[in-house]
Structure 1
Amino acid sequence: MTHTPPADARFIPETVLKRDIFSETISGHLDGAPDLPVVLRKLDGVPAYARPLAWWLARKEIRGLRAVRGIEGCPELIRADRVGLLRSWTQGTPLQLAKPDDPAWYADARRLLREMRRAGVTHNDIAKPQNWLMTPEGRAAVIDFQLASVHRRRGRLFRIMAREDLRHLLKQKRAYAPHLLTPSEHRMLARKSLPSRVWMATGKRAYNFITRRLMNWSDGEGTEDRIERDGPALRAAWLARPDVSEVALCTYARPAKGVGLYAFVETTCDEATLRALAPEPRPDLIQPVTLLPRDAGGAPRLDALALIAANRLDELELLTKADPELARDVAPIVSARLNLTDRDRGA
C-alpha cells in the first residue's frame, strides 16, 4: 500500500506539460510517494509584467478547486504557496484526442456539471476540448480552473454562466457525437446567452488582439493554434509528394517559453528533405517514420503521438499496456524520438 505523504512534502518534478507567460505546468510526485502523481502550476518564474494577472488567475483557481473538493472528476488542491498551486493529477485523454461517442461519457459530464452547480461553481472555460478529459474508466473529468467562478448567490448571473457551461458541453457533443444530440439540445445550442453574444462581438476580439498580437500568447493551452495555423500549408506541401503518405502534427512544451510543433511524417524521405520542403514557419521537430500508428478507421493515433511528442513515456506505457499492436507500432517511433527535454529537472 502506498504511503500518502504530508501536503508539505517536497515536490519532485518530472515533465513540463505546458508553458505560457502566466505559469509553467509540471507533472511529478511528492517526495515519498512516487506512485501518486501531482501537478504544479508554477508561478515564481512568471515575468514581472504578467505577475499580477497570473496571481489573479491563480487565486480564482484556488477558490474554485476548494469549492469543488470531493466532486468526482475535479482535481483536488493539495497546497498553494509562493511557488504556485499543487493539485492532484487527473489521468485521462483530452477530448480532442479521445473524441467520445459513448452516451455514458456525456451523461457523466452532465452529472459533473450538476455537482459543480450545486457547489456554486461555474468553470467558464470548457469550450476548450483540452479542458475536458476521458478517464481510463470512461468517466468525465475537467481541469484548468483558472477562469472558474464561485458564486455565493444563485442569482441570474450564476444561472447564465451555468447555462453557458452546459451549452459548451453540448458543443463538444456536437463536434464528436452529433448523432447523440436531442432536439432540446439542438435548440439550446442555437440560443447563445446575451452576455455570450456581447462578449463574442466585443470583448473576445479585444482579448485575442491583446493576448495573441501584443503578447504573442494563446489561451488554447498552447496546443491547438499552431496546428490550426501552420498545419494546412505543411500538409499540402508534404502530401504533394508521392513518397509522403501521411502527416501527424502535435505540440509540446519547449525548454524556453512557448510551444513547439512536432511533425511525424510517414515517408521514405529523410528529415533534411522534409525540412527543405516545409513552408515557413517550419515545425520545430520533424521525424520521418516508416509507419504511423493508426486506429480502426485508419486515422493516425494522435493520442499516442502526442505523448511521444511531449516525451511523456510513462503515460504512453499505460496507454499501450493493453494494446500490444499499438505498442509494436510506436516502439520504433519512440526509439527515434526527437524531444528528449523536460524529463529530468532539478528539484
Structure 2
Amino acid sequence: MQLISPNGTHTPDADYVTPEDEHLLAAYAALVTGRRINDQCNALVRQGRLAVYPSSNGQEACQVAAALAIASSDWLFPTYRDSVAVIGRGVPAEDAMTLLRGDWHSGYDPCKYRVAPQATPLATQLLHAVGFAHAAKLRGEDTVVLAMCGDGATSEGDFHEAMNFAAVFKLAVVFFVQNNEFAISVPLARQTAAPSLAHKAIGYGMPGQRVDGNDVAALLAVLGEAVDRARGGDGPSLIEAHTYRMLAHTNADDDSRYREPEAVQEWEPQDPLVRLSKLLRDRSILTDSLEDKFAASANELSATLRQVMHAEPKVDPEELFTHVFAERPESLETQWNFLRDEIERTEEDS
C-alpha cells in the first residue's frame, strides 16, 4: 500500500484515509529530527562516545510512524535499531543512548514513557509485548501494544510463538515488521519462501498488510487502522513495511561483503524525507521558514545529545554488585571487598 509515490505525488487508496496535512507536517518535522539523530549517533560512534549504533538511516518513516500511531496510554516494544522511535515517544535522546554507550541499565524509566527497554536479542521483545498485552486484557484495560521487529526476527521461534499466542487470545498487539531486506548479511530470500512476510499472518488467523516503508503517510494510515482494530477488541495484526537499510548493520559491519553499492544507490530516490518534502512543498504547506525551524529544533536536540555523550560518565564500581540479590550474599561481599582493596591500592600508587 502506498499513498505518496517516490516523486512526491499523492496516490490515494480507496481502502485507507490519507492523513491530514497538519499530521503530515508534524511527521515531516519528526523525520528531520530522526535523520539528524542518526547522523549525530554515527559521528559519536566514530568519536568513541558510543560503543555501537545500529542506524535507521533510510528507515526513519517507520520509526516516526511507530511513535505517532499509538496513543500516549499505549506501549511500544522496540528493538536495538528503533532509537528514533523511542525518542519520538518522548524519551530524551541522551537517555535512549545510554544502553548503546555500554552503561549497565537501559537509561530510561519504561513505565514513565511506556516504552520497553530496547531489545538486542532478536524477537524476544515480541513475547514480552504479548505478555504485557495479555495482562492488560485481564485487567480490563484498552492498552494497545506496538511490537517492532526486523525481517530477521521473523526467522526466530519467538516470533511464531508470539504471533500464535496473540491470535489465539485475541490480544491488542500490532506486530510491525521493518523489512529492510537483510538480517545483517542474510538476504530475505534465504529467510522465507513466502510471497511476503505479511502473508505469514494468514496462518495465525490475523490480517496482514504490506506497506511502502518509506511512505510515512501510508504507514500512519495502515498502522492507525491496525491500532484501532486492536483497541476495538478485534485482535492482533501483522504489518510488513518494505524499506531498506541505507547504512551497514552497525559500525562493526562491512556491508560491502554482501551487497553492491549500486543496490544501495537504487534506494536513494525513495528517501522518505525527500518524498514527503516534495508533497508538502507542492501543497504550499512546507515553507523555507518551517524547514529552518525544524532543522534548528533537530540541531538543538543533537547538540544536547553530543554534549552529554562527550561528558565523562561517573562510574561507581560497587554498582557491579548492586541489584544482583535483594540481600548481598557473603560471596559477593567478598568479591566487592577484594575489588575495593585493589582500587584503593591502585589509587595510592598513582
The TM-score normalised by the length of structure 1 is 0.26
User: Going by fraction, where is strand more abundant, 1 or 2?
Assistant: 1
More helix by share: 2
Normalising by structure 2, we get a TM-score of 0.26
Higher RCO, 1 or 2 (CA under 8 Å, sep at least 6)?
2
Larger radius of gyration: 2
